[in-house]
């Protein structure tokens, strides 16, 4: 079979760092802060804008704080776990690699005594009805390595004693988040907005702030985790006074991405782009019996990190990914190293629907080519 003629304009389908949006140019960034101190008036102004514009565009409730913290989403999550947990029992949810990593943090590193684990295999969700909201609850909204997400926030109790701590790195700007049900939300710039790595975003509800100001964990906290001083929240962290030195180039890139979201019409537009991208893949899967979603329930299919299983041997699946890369059609679409053999295609807002439409015939061709070898 001859390969298709039309190729994606942008073959970058990595699940992080993710594709830059169409038309992106570094030369168009506001680089006025490069070479300037992040503590300068200009530096603090731009960092403050990154926090305030995030709150505005996402529509955060009154009293929610937004801070820029070190070490991408991982740093933001661990900052929350180390600073907030231990005041009460904790329910930990995991159905893929990163959720399992948070369980390791809590059980083996923090060594918390009262931990309830709710776990499921790749492609599934645990029973959300069994979660105890008298405890703190830690979960990922979207499992980046399995392509399985929670379908909505209805399962989260409105009246709860514990805090809800949500790793939403592949969900923010792709899902309509029920902010009032979430006390801590983390994400990173390099996912749905196609930004740069190494910086995390930490969103705190008033309930999370109250916990920070009323509870001191019994373990030492490194400087980059400390959010209080003298029993009070360090408000400057949530106004652009970062704990350590950020990349002002990455900040400029993030502000540019936020302006792009505004130009589209806001977060509902980026959600719509993600859903349209998922639909392209869903239509292709429905038309071909040799490929399927790893997510077993359609309601739990991710609209960003779309994970697919193929009716091929594991080494053949890897050959499909390598073949598409060698043709310059799709880069970095192999499954995560700990996940079942498969294909993972990023469908976030910066990916053009037309590029996914162009990719699907190539995926069909690659499957036929490898299967016939």
Instruction: Write down all domains in the chain, each with its CATH number in brackets.
Output: 26-263 (3.40.640.10), 266-372 (3.90.1150.10)
- Number of other CB atoms surrounding residue 164 within 10 Å: 24
pLDDT of residue 99 exceeding 90, the answer is yes
Which token pair is 361?
């015939």
Residues β-bridged to residue 307: 344
- Contact, 360 vs 42, CB < 8 A? no
**Secondary structure (3-state) at 319:** helix
Arithmetic mean of pLDDT, 211-231: 97
Nearest to 82, CA basis, from 242, 212, 230: 212
Contacts of 362 (CB under 8 A, 6+ apart): 3, 4, 7, 324, 327, 329, 330
Say how many Å lie between the first and final Cα of the chain, rounded: 12
Q: Which residue, chain included where needed, has tokens 């403050």?
A: 48
Q: What percent of the chain has pLDDT over 90?
A: 99
Arithmetic mean of pLDDT, 208-218: 98
Nearest to 300, CA basis, from 124, 48, 103: 124
Q: What is the pLDDT of residues 112-142, one digit of tens each?
A: 999 999 999 999 999 999 999 999 999 999 9
Determine the pLDDT at residue 60: 98
Determine the pLDDT at residue 72: 97
Q: What is the pTM of this model?
A: 0.98
Q: What value does the mean pLDDT of the chain take?
A: 98
Nearest to 90, CA basis, from 157, 139, 35, 142: 139
Arithmetic mean of pLDDT, 328-348: 96
The DSSP output letter for 18 is: P
The DSSP output letter for 29 is: S
Arithmetic mean of pLDDT, 323-337: 97
Q: What is the pLDDT of residues 37-91, one digit of tens each?
A: 999 999 999 999 999 999 999 999 999 999 999 999 999 999 999 999 999 999 9
Angstrom distance (rounded) from CA 160 to CA 275:
31
Q: How confident is the model at residue 181 (pLDDT cuts 50, 70, 90)?
A: very high
Determine the pLDDT at residue 1: 81
Angstrom distance (rounded) from CA 79 to CA 204:
12
Which token pair is 229?
């001083």
pLDDT of residue 168 exceeding 90, the answer is yes
Q: How confident is the model at residue 302 (pLDDT cuts 50, 70, 90)?
A: very high
DSSP string, 180-216: GG-SEEEEETTSTT---SSEEEEEE-HHHHHHHHH--
**142 — phi, psi (to 5°)?**
-125, 115
**292 — phi, psi (to 5°)?**
-155, 160
Arithmetic mean of pLDDT, 237-250: 97
Determine the pLDDT at residue 344: 98
Out of 107-111, 195-199, 336-340, pick the least confident: 336-340
């Amino acid at each position: 079979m001859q390969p298709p003629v039309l190729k994606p304009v942008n073959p970058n389908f990595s699940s992080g760092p993710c594709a830059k949006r169409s038309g992106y140019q570094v030369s168009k960034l506001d680089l006025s802060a490069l070479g300037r101190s992040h503590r300068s008036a200009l530096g603090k102004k731009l960092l403050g804008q990154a926090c305030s514009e995030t709150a505005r565009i996402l529509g955060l409730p009154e009293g929610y704080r937004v801070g820029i913290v070190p070490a991408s989403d991982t740093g933001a999550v661990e900052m929350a776990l180390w600073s907030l947990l231990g005041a009460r029992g904790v329910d930990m949810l995991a159905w893929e690699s990163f959720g399992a990593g948070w369980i390791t943090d809590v059980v083996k590193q923090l060594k918390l005594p009262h931990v309830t684990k709710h776990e499921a295999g790749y492609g599934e969700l645990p029973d959300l009805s069994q979660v105890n909201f008298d405890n703190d609850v830690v979960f990922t909204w979207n499992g980046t390595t399995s392509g399985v997400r929670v379908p909505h926030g209805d399962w989260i109790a409105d009246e709860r004693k514990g805090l809800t701590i949500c790793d939403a790195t592949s969900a923010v700007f792709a899902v309509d988040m029920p902010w009032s049900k979430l006390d801590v939300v983390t994400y990173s710039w390099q996912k749905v907005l196609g930004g740069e790595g190494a910086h995390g975003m930490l969103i705190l509800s008033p309930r999370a702030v109250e916990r920070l100001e009323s509870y001191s964990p019994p373990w030492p906290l490194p400087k980059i985790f400390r959010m209080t001083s003298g029993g009070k929240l360090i408000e400057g962290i949530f106004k652009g006074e970062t704990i350590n030195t950020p990349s002002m180039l990455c900040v400029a890139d993030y502000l540019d991405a936020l302006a792009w979201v505004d130009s589209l019409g806001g977060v509902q537009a980026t959600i719509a782009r993600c859903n349209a991208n998922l639909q392209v893949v869903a239509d292709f899967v429905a038309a071909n019996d040799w490929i399927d979603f790893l997510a077993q329930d359609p309601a739990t299919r991710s609209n960003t990190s779309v994970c697919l299983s193929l009716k091929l041997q594991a080494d053949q699946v890897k050959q499909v990914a390598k073949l598409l890369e060698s043709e310059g059609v799709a880069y970095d679409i192999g499954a995560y190293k700990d996940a079942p053999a498969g294909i993972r295609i990023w469908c976030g807002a910066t990916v053009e629907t037309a590029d996914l439409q162009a990719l699907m015939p190539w995926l069909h061709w690659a499957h036929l080519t490898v299967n016939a070898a």
